[in-house]
Structure 1
Amino acid sequence: MQSETTTVNCPQCQKEVIWDELSAWRPFCSKRCQMIDLGEWAAEEKSIPGQPTHFDHEAWSEKDPE
């Protein structure tokens, strides 16, 4: 019995990636693509749509109230 191979496209470069435990960086094709994606999230170039939280409020501050 032959098992089906699942493949996905790398979210960064679109290269085809086999989805199994041997693909260390899945869904990415490489560590490089994974780090590029992480950098985009860290730089807030990517986000998940949703309602603003209290952290997004302009009046919020990390300083202690005086």
Structure 2
Amino acid sequence: MSHSQTPSRPLEVPCPRCRTSVQWVEENRFRPFCSERCKLIDLGAWADGTHRIAGEPAMDETEIDEMILRAERGDMGRDD
């Protein structure tokens, strides 16, 4: 039997939330999640900061204002 005649199975991935096996098909409107519940729980974790991408901490407004003032004075290289 040739490769073109082999029926293809949809890709299966684990739900990022509960690890249930999920078929990656267009009919699954929650993919890669298994359900709307898992999708919303994950969204909530991003919203409350539980999930986050590692990197430099964000500056608060005071730090930004101080940086702008230093730049305007021309003393960006000094920390005094």
Q: What TM-score comes out, normalization by structure 2 length?
A: 0.65
- In structure 1, runs of 5+ residues without a counterpart are 62-66
Q: What TM-score comes out, normalization by structure 1 length?
A: 0.78
- In structure 2, runs of 5+ residues without a counterpart are 63-80
CA shift digits 1:18-43 (9 cap, x unpaired): 00101110000000000000000000
What's the Cα RMSD here?
Answer: 1.3
Q: Which has the larger radius of gyration?
A: 2
Deviating 4+ runs (over 6 angstroms): none
What are the equivalent positions in structure 2 for 1:1-66 lying under 5 Å apart?
1=5, 2-52=7-57, 56-58=58-60, 60=61
Q: Which amino acid aligns with 2:56?
A: Q
More relative contact order, 1 or 2 (CA 8 Å, 6+ apart): 1
2-structure distance, mates of 1:18, 1:37:
18
